[in-house]
Amino acid sequence: MQGMEFTIYDNRGKELETLVTDSAGHAESKEYPIATFKSGKYAKQLTYTVKETKTLEGYKLDEIGYKVKFEYVDDKTPVIEYILDVTNEKIPDQPNTPDTPDTTSTTTTSTPKTEDDSNMVLMLLLMGVSAGGVGLLFWKKKRRK
């Protein structure tokens, strides 16, 4: 879903960055440290919070703050990726009340009729009478010669 907005917060609640999804529903943040280090050694893992701050019209805003923690796979891991999959609930259509104008548009389309509901017996009877009449004409013409 394009145009959804997410904000990244640090562990103290400070806003770090706002991301907006592209046409594929993808957004990518800047690089952030995953831990604190003392004397070149791992000290403490950092936690970030990702929260949806804007959604598409007709959908409920997901107000859950998703905690994100990164972990090294080994000492040689250059980039760590975290994929957050968020699904928004669609807001049900509200019935119109007298105070609200009807903003829904109704489109009526007319499709061509593709089936035949004529009476087949009548068609066969008319074909038989026509064939009989043509046959009678040929018979009379042949008798005259």
Condensed to tens digits (0 to 9), the pLDDT of residues 115-129 reads 555 566 666 777 777
d(CA 44, CA 64): 25
Q: Which of 73-77, 81-85, 141-145 has the lowest mean pLDDT?
A: 73-77
Q: 15 in a domain, yes or no? A: yes
Closest C-alpha among 70, 50, 73 to residue 62: 50
d(CA 55, CA 8): 15
Q: 60 in a domain, yes or no? A: yes
Report pLDDT for 100: 54
Q: 18 in a domain, yes or no? A: yes
Count other C-beta atoms under 10 Å from residue 54's C-beta: 13
Distances (CA, A) of 63 to 19, 51, 58, 92, 110: 16, 7, 15, 18, 44
What is the domain count for the chain?
1
Q: Which domain holds residue 40?
A: 5-69
Provide the 3-class DSSP secondary structure of residue 47.
strand
Q: 144 in a domain, yes or no? A: no
Count other C-beta atoms under 10 Å from residue 17's C-beta: 14
Q: 107 in a domain, yes or no? A: no
Match 């499709």 to its residue by tokens. Answer: 111
Q: 109 in a domain, yes or no? A: no
Which helix (H) or strand (E) element contains residue 27?
Answer: none
Q: Which pLDDT tens digit goes with each residue over 25-65?
A: 888 888 888 888 888 888 888 899 999 999 988 889 988 89
Q: 44 in a domain, yes or no? A: yes
Q: 76 in a domain, yes or no? A: no
Q: Which of 2-11, 36-45, 72-81, 82-91 has the lowest mean pLDDT?
A: 72-81
Residue 99 phi, psi dihedral angles, 5° rounding: -80, -20
| Residues in the chain, total | 145
Distances (CA, A) of 79 to 22, 27, 82, 128, 129: 22, 16, 10, 84, 87
Q: Return mean pLDDT, the chain.
A: 78
